[in-house]
């Protein structure tokens, strides 16, 4: 029973390139969350998606960042024209259902380094 799978685990990009981070939720989970963790800082919420829908993107920068969770396939977090400040660990988490008792299951993260 695989957990939340994220890839790549490590990604190096030069300024101006695009970064694509993938997240496959646990089997049967239809809710996906993306968080960013900067060095020595906590987790910052970015976006919450259900299949084919963005539910809450209030934590995501308005420019250069986008996210999707298609009917088939993984959730994708896309960062266009990366800058050094985008260097961080990006964590995906999934949940099987709505409701206040639901817990999040985290992937091991994708670590983006922008040169």
Partner 1 sequence: GDSVTQMEGPVTLSEEAFLTINCTYTATGYPSLFWYVQYPGEGLQLLLKATKADDKGSNKGFEATYRKETTSFHLEKGSVQVSDSAVYFCALISTGNQFYFGTGTSLTVIP
State how far the Cα of 62 lies from the Cα of 29, in Å rounded to an integer. Answer: 27
State how far the Cα of 6 lies from the Cα of 9, in Å rounded to an integer. Answer: 7
Q: Is residue 107 involved in binding partner 1 (CB under 8 A)? A: yes
Q: Which is nearer to partner 1, 19 or 93 (CB)?
A: 93
> Which residue carries 């809710």 as its tokens?
31
Site string for partner 1, 37-76 (x = CB under 8 A): ----xxx-x--x------xx--------------------
Interface with partner 1 by CB under 8 A: which range of 21-29, 70-78, 79-87, 90-98? 90-98
User: Minimum Å distance from CB 5 to partner 1?
Assistant: 11
Cβ within 8 Å of residue 78, ≥6 positions away: 18, 19, 20, 21, 65, 66, 67, 68
Q: Is residue 80 involved in binding partner 1 (CB under 8 A)? A: no
Nearest to 25 by CA among 112, 108, 107, 110: 107
Q: Contact at 8 Å (CB) between 23 and 77?
A: yes
Q: Which is nearer to partner 1, 17 or 106 (CB)?
A: 106
Residues near partner 1, by CB under 8 A? 4, 31, 33, 35, 41-43, 45, 48, 55-56, 91, 93, 98-109
């Amino acid at each position: 029973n695989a957990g939340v799978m994220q890839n790549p685990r490590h990604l190096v990009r030069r300024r101006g390139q695009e970064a694509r981070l993938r997240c496959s939720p646990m089997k049967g989970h239809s809710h996906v969350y993306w968080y960013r963790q900067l060095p020595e800082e906590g987790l910052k919420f970015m976006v919450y998606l259900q299949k084919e829908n963005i539910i809450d993107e209030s934590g995501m920068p308005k420019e250069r960042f986008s996210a999707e969770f298609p009917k088939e396939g993984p959730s994708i977090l896309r960062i266009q024209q990366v800058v050094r400040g985008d260097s961080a660990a990006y964590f995906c988490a999934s949940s099987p259902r709505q409701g206040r008792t639901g817990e999040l299951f985290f992937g091991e993260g994708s670590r983006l380094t922008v040169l």
